[in-house]
Structure 1
Amino acid sequence: MAPLAVSLGDPAGIGPELIAASWAARDEAGLQPFFACGGAGLLAAAGASRELSVPVERIADPAEAAAVFPRALPVLGEVDGPWNPGQPDSGGARLALASLKQAAELAVAGSASGIVTGPIAKALLAEVGFRHPGQTEFVAEACGVAAEDAVMMLAGPQLRTIPLSVHVPLSQVPALLSTDLICRRARIAAEALQRDFGIARPRIAIAGLNPHAGESGRMGDEEQSIISPAIETLMAEGIAATGPHPADALFAPHARDDYDVALCMYHDQALIPIKALDFDAGVNVTLGLPIIRTSPDHGTAFAIAGTGKAHPGATIAAIRMAGECAARRANG
């Protein structure tokens, strides 16, 4: 199986030091071989800032990564930049974009078994020509997949969630919801959980939009007019969908045993529980793509970059999950 490609993220953020820390923990964490796309000097400095022994070795081809990985962090290519934690600039944004482009191209070509993307600063990327809302949409386009069919799932040891709407004002959410949207996202989720996570018959719990799931229309009718018809359609197709569930009870410990993923109506309904339960092990997984793509579920954290305070757990989890999913595809 080909190695994983890891993009740097913004070099002024915590991404580079957590990539270095992940390589240092490779044996303990059971990580499959990966290589970084660019930033050899940057990664060496980032590892040193955490007092880690992280030798870096440049490679000319992804196929070299497996042999190098036990002794050094493999880095593909010559593109590099300075280690200036907490000081983002346009040069760093260009490096982040170059690294992301290379990782996506290699995965699409089959030279990498999947990609793990480091956290970016979207505003800075926009200044250097990045025209996508985020990395998910960028990777989807690189794969030839419509953005609306690239589904964001947040996954941790205790919970998986999917938000139907993401970076939009809460006031706009009801107008964005539709029976078709719920069905499309649920179908993509069911297929991905079977193929990439080895769940034979995924159970999908679908949250209500309103308090108490609308309470029979007294607190809104979206549950009756939009969500319930979607659940009926999915069940008729053989998908194990349930709901609409009141969101205030859906994430309780006893409730989480009854489903494999919670399909949520908006951003915070999905992200608050995953971050409350699995903050240092949360992974952003893009479903519906022909390639594997994961990312740690946190941002650049410029304020603590270079201080050694950033926890590598989510980056390690993202690399491990990408490797596990890639292995299932390879063996499927």
Structure 2
Amino acid sequence: MAYTKKVAVRSRRDYEWAMTLLCDALTKSGDRVGSRPIRTITPRGADKLYQKIVIGPNGRRDRTAEKVVKLCRKAWRVVHRLFPDEFPKDVPNPWLGVTLENRVKKAKPAVTRDDVYDFAHGCIAAGEPEVAAVAVICFEWLQRPENVIAGYIKWSDYRAPSAPTIVRVAHHKTGTVAPHPLEETLPDGTVFKFYADAEEVLAAVPRRGVSMILREVSKGVAKPFAFPTMQHKVQRMRKKLGLPAHFTMDACRHGGMTELEEAELTDGQGRALSTHRTQQSYEGYAKRTAKRMLSATRKRHAHRLAEQNEPGDSVRNEAPETVRNGTPEQSKITS
């Protein structure tokens, strides 16, 4: 919970910094943009301000400039509704349609299932079961790291008496809850567990309170981890275990999302597990791995072979000619 508040504060500071950057920009006459009336901001002026922010004194700031445009676009719309007399009636929102510079967005890394469980077993052996559980929960049940650490994964949501075969995973960002099935009873009565490895890791985590991921402050007192503390623990264990440098909690979640695509789930099935609201946001997590490329290539090759070897093509192609042009068979029938 505490981490969620910190994120909100940090986001507010980011917006304040973006607005300060815009307002402190100087015009040709040397005065601050923030000191000028809102009526003086025109579409051309918005374009020039964007370019001024992009090409900063210390190099390009494409992402920062994008944030400024997005923030100003929304601020103009909100304030205009509240104070319409302060805005020129013949000038539309000048921040709409600002042409943004193209920039290459870096793809976030993803780790494999083997990496996640090598990390988890190493953490348990080193006396860090909570760190192990964070990695596994992010990978298997696709919960955001900040939600895991903030305490949104609870023991009361794991095999509760009312739902003994379910783990309920809350996604605070979207306000959704995903009930992941943990097992299935087969027709012969055998119980098949889908997440046996993950449950083995959870069994090593001490129950210090309602939330799964808690640190013991003193005897009988437990609190959530600070996010930087957990990050430090993850990196320390990652180095100790010799895992890739891109191993992070976020990379664990991206790895789980990538596994959904490697399993060739449909878009609807994948989003049912991840609770992403749109296809675009869901697709951003699944990496184009060699396994996905190989599977797609196999299907494409199989389709080509099926097209080449499908029987009856000649029959289907000749039938229209028979009807359209007339044939000896037709002549016999008409004679």
The structure with more helix, counted as a fraction of residues:
2
> Between Structure 1 and Structure 2, which shows a larger proportion of strand residues?
1
Query: Same fold by TM-score, threshold 0.5 exceeded?
Result: no
TM category, shorter: under 0.3
- Work out which structure has the larger RCO, using CA pairs closer than 8 Å and 6 or more positions apart in sequence: 1
Structure of greater Rg: 2
Give the TM-score normalised by structure 1.
0.23
Q: TM-score with structure 2 length normalisation?
A: 0.22
